[in-house]
Structure formats: structure tokens, C-alpha cells
Amino acid sequence: MGVSTLNIIKIGGNVIDNEQDLNDFLEKFSALSGKKILVHGGGKIATRLAADLGIEANLIDGRRVTDAEMLKIVTMVYAGLTNKSIVSKLQNLNCDALGLSGADGDTIRTMKRPVKDIDYGFVGDIMHDSINTASIKKVLEAGFVPVFSAITHNGIGQLLNTNADTIASALAVALADLYETSLIYCFEKNGVLRDVKDENSVFERINAKDFEQLKKEGVIHTGMIPKLQNAFDAIRKGVKHVYVGNANNLHLFQQSHFGTCLVAK
């Protein structure tokens, strides 16, 4: 009997912020066959709610500083409103989703980020043994579709805000021992672009050597570099493929024509 395939799909905040885009994406996600996991970010709802409550959002280099009050907000929004809204929409599409934080079923334990130059507050960093593969396997084998928010825990009662891209990558690496795993990052671009002004200039395939060369040439730069570094790290650790592409095109994934495919060689 062959190894089952598993697709782990991360959806970004820009799609979550637009209800029609989110509905379109979830239709495509629900139609994907086989085992799958959805990981979602938070979007801008947490920032807006914090402002309404007089709590100032503090971002440093795009990373949210999560003090005690902001942790309450992101937990309510990410693990509550956003997660359960997505789950209810998937149920309407006959996709039997189960909304989870990392605390549920002890699925994802993280460590509070150590204070160095900056105190990020209640932010969780993934460790080598963060993912409880046994718990997640039970959920998958029972026929449920896990939907993970970006809230984890430290195992001693503290919730932590954790980067959703990193959660998706860690899930893919850990579960690659059990399933033939692909990791798919969905956002608003059609893939990794040769020319950022031309949505059709998509690289269909990039290997690790290409990546280093494209960085030197300045074709891949700024925010795309850490995303792709995480992707190639996942490939080195056993993930079969990593894809980067437009959420609107997810229906093309199982036809082998979706965004940019990242491979080892």
C-alpha cells in the first residue's frame, strides 16, 4: 500500500480580509481531493479591533509585538472569529473541517521568543519537536480537515502568537515522515515573478541553485527571500514539493499547473 499524499495550504491575510476572495478560495480548497490541512493568518481584523478598544498595534519589520492585551485580541480574532468563520464556510461546502489552535489536542507547542534586542512579547517560536504528529494524524485519519490558526501554546498554560508561514512549514516537515507532503503558499501574486510588474512572468520551477543565483541577480529580493528560504529548508527536510501561487488559481494545483514549484534539484 502506497504512502498517502497530504497537501498543507497556507492562506495569507489579504485573502482573509476580502470576503469574496475568501469564499472563492475556500470553494477551491474544499474541492481538492485527498488529505489536506489549511493554515491561516489573521488579516487586519485584529488591528482594527485593537484600535476600537484603544489598544495600539505595534509592528517591527512587519512582525507584531504581542503584549498581554494584544494577545487577548489576536486569540479572540485568529483562533475565534476568523478560524470559526472559515470552518463554518467549509462546512457549508461539505468539507468536514475542524478548527484548531496549537493548544487543541496539544498539536503545536512553541517556546516564547527570547528577549534579545527587541521584546516581542507573547510570540511563539517553533522548535524541532513542536509538532505533535500523532495527534494530527488521528484527526486526518478520522476524515477531518484541520484548520489551524496562528495561536499555539507552550505546554504550561500560556498561549502564544506564532507566524502562520512558519507553522505551515513546520507541519509539512513533521508530517513528511508519515505522508507524501506538499506545501502550498497561497497569496495575491501568480507565483515567483521574474518581473514584479508583470504578473505573467512566473517562474514555473526553481531549484536551490537557481534560488541562490536569482538572489545574487536581485530578481528575488526583500520579503520573498525569507519565504523561499523557509520553503527550501522544508524541501531539504523531506517535503516533496513547495508551491507559491495565487489563491485564485488553487483549482489548477492538482492539474500540475499552479504558480511556481520549488524543488531540491
Q: Does the annotation list 161 as a binding residue?
A: yes
Of 109, 115, 123, give the one whose Cα is nearest residue 154.
Answer: 109
Of 265, 137, 159, give the one whose Cα is nearest residue 207.
Answer: 265
Of 6, 7, 15, 5, give the one whose Cα is nearest residue 186.
Answer: 15
> In which element (H, E) is residue 165 found?
helix 164-175
Residues in the chain: 265
Q: Does the annotation list 83 as a binding residue?
A: no
Which is it for the CA torsion 138, 140, 142, 144, positive or negative? positive
Task: Give the span between the Cα atoms of 25 and 30, in whole angstroms.
Answer: 9
Contact 263, 235 (CB under 8 A): yes
Q: Which three cell numbers stand for residue 54?
A: 484603544
Q: Does the annotation list 43 as a binding residue?
A: yes
**Binding-site residue positions for substrate:** 42-43, 64, 161
**Binding-site residue positions:** 42-43, 64, 161
